[in-house]
Chain A
Amino acid sequence: MLERINWFTENPYHGQVRVVHLLEMLRDQLTWEGLHAQVKRPLAGLKVAPYYGCLLLRPAQEIQLDDPERPTILHDCMLALGAEVVDFPYAVECCGSYLAVEKAEVPDRLAQTIISSARANGADCLVTACPLCQFNLDYPQRGTTSPAPMPVLYFTQLMAVALDLPPADWGLEGLYVDPAPLLERIPACEEAGA
């Protein structure tokens, strides 16, 4: 297999590159304490439901990022950012993945279950570690008003808020559900308040 691929790409590959997820790097190199120390604007009072989806954790034998059924890595990240973490039973459910292209109603239905479960457990917003999960959960909520749509953010967006980067770098304009009203509730950073 490897030979065939190397023959095809003409770019020899020996499997020596270690691929690290950003969350993994944060956990192992920076550590959560290190991240917490850099937080300038803690996400106090923000109830975040971490949504893991499938491919962050599976296939578990190969990826070994965290427990595939009871993961904590996004929990720890959000706690380090000062947010309140909400547990909900659909955290490791599938989002529908690329069926969004072929059969859009499947991710729509799944997103509805996932979001209503997170809402029932008291979450203000969902946070994902996968752009496709983010899209699949966010897109079906476009233009809805009742029940109030739940913002779905990528975890780096919340990191940008907590690390007090300029709002232009937050990258919120691509989202379908506007998280701005929610993020305004977070107390401004101490320097600004003082």
Chain B
Amino acid sequence: MIPRVMVIGGGIAGIQAALDVANSGYEVVLVERLPSIGGHMAQLSETFPTLDCSQCIMTPRTVEVGHHEQIKLMTYSEVESVAGEVGHFRVRVRRAPTYVDWDACTGCGTCQQKCPYKAESDFERGIGPRKAIYTLNPQAVPNKPVIDPDACKWLLTRAEREAEGKKPQCGACQKLCPTEAIRFDDAPAYFEEEVGAIILATGYDLMSPARLPEYGGGMVADVIDGLAFERLLASSGPTAGAVRRPSDGATPKEIVFVQCAGSRDPEHGAPYCSKICCMYTAKQAMLYKHRVHDGQAHIFYIDVRAGGKRYEEFITRGIEEGTDYLRGKVSKIYRDGEKVIVRGADTLNGKPVTLAADLVVLAMAVLPAPTRRRSPRAWASRWTPTASSSRSTTSCSRWRARGPACTWPAWRPGRRTSPKRWRRRAARRARC
């Protein structure tokens, strides 16, 4: 047996698992898909129910992973294949090209300051941009940047310009890097690791709001998901902790939180309770109230599931601080001028209720993270809030683009019924 463990996924669970195994004397290989470890916890502002800062809890652990003698950290890498058996696995790991020599890079950050090209940031959940050469956050471990080949002018213009016999455009990072660490000719690297055991800690992702068109997801810019609101609250986020809505940057005075958006809803593919939404929504409403004193937060809930130490007290504290809890389900969310109209039912008094909000936060269903994606850049939701509802004219394309977990069968021309019904029909025909 090989006394070596691989941990797949460098979120807080993977980090803690790696540290526990390493501290009991085994060698650990920690594989992370993104350029740095931390996962979703690095995106959060504060944690419930103590309102401790998330970075303060996590940074000592990420730093320890970075320095630990027993931990081999492989970031920007994905597992390609696993062979062998318990006690002796051979794992093939693909490291995506970073275009930066991490041994030479000192993490000074000059390249990120000077890079003139921006891209939409998955880490910021579409709320803020990042540069084409980037680290995920200032406390990144390892604190080494990578270049996004879809946003870097040099890499995008290389083929075309070299065909004309010219040098590619830009190259600012290459010129300005004090240690000459930029390597535009970087290629994917493959590694074979032999381990005795594997811990899967691939984590979760939120369902894309575009899967809920009746809630304006993907169409109304001021309808965002819980993680995006978390980035708005985070002091390391794009607004430095000020609550600003995405469409016009105004401070929202009225926020509606919608719990169970996609969860407990078999129609939308997540029939289960996502478990964390009640608590984080209560926390977000509370933190919003701390930031915007004259603001009002409304929460639509089915029932509040606050099972945990000091959780119920936390919910009560939120209500005492002025959060308005409305029991009921939201039916429709749409934009009307400056406002976002939320129509739903208040099932305690049995009447329909309509609220005019400035910002709507959907507590989207928690889904297992897709682990079979190839590209490290293709993580998180593809959804970006757009200012207007831009409609594609190709019919049905958006419906089909909704992803495999969608409960609607994919529409195909010429096929109108389910295979089951086809079989039944064929059987009936055979009987005739």
Contacts and interface: CB of A to CB of B under 8 A. Distances in A.
A184 to B, nearest CB: 28
Nearest to A69: B213
B373 to A, nearest CB: 25
A120 B393 CA distance: 23
Interface in A1-30: 14-16, 18, 27-28
Nearest to A29: B413
Given A66-B396, A75-B393, A89 B214 contact: no
Contact of B432 (A14, A62, A64, A67): A14
Given A61-B408, A64-B411, A72 B389 contact: no
A66 B400 CA distance: 10
Contacts of B336: 89, 120
Contact of A67 (B334, B394, B399, B425): B399
Contacts of B213: 67, 69-70
Contacts of B332: 89
Contacts of A62: 417
A79 interface: yes
A84 interface: no
A32 B394 CA distance: 10
Given A66-B399, A69-B213, A87 B391 contact: yes
A125 B180 CA distance: 63
A64 B425 contact: no
A79 B334 contact: no
Contacts of A85: 391
* Interface size of B as a range: 20 to 34
A76 interface: yes
B214 A69 contact: yes
Contacts of B393: 32, 72, 75-76, 79
Interface string A87-125: 101000000000000000000000000000000100000
A45 B432 CA distance: 56
Contacts of B395: 27, 32, 66, 72-73, 75-76
B409 interface: yes
B413 A18 contact: no
A72 B395 CA distance: 5
A160 B219 CA distance: 32
29 contacts: A14-B428, A14-B429, A14-B432, A16-B425, A27-B395, A32-B393, A32-B395, A61-B408, A61-B409, A64-B411, A66-B395, A66-B399, A66-B411, A67-B213, A67-B396, A69-B213, A69-B214, A70-B399, A72-B391, A72-B392, A72-B395, A72-B396, A72-B398, A76-B395, A79-B393, A87-B389, A87-B391, A89-B334, A120-B336
Interface of B: 213-214, 219, 332, 334-336, 341, 389, 391-396, 398-399, 408-409, 411, 413-414, 416-418, 425, 428-429, 432
Interface of A: 14-16, 18, 27-28, 32, 60-62, 64, 66-67, 69-70, 72-73, 75-76, 79, 85, 87, 89, 120
Given A14-B428, A15-B428, A64-B411, 14 more contacts: A14-B429, A16-B429, A32-B395, A64-B409, A66-B411, A67-B213, A67-B396, A67-B398, A70-B219, A70-B399, A72-B398, A79-B393, A85-B391, A89-B332
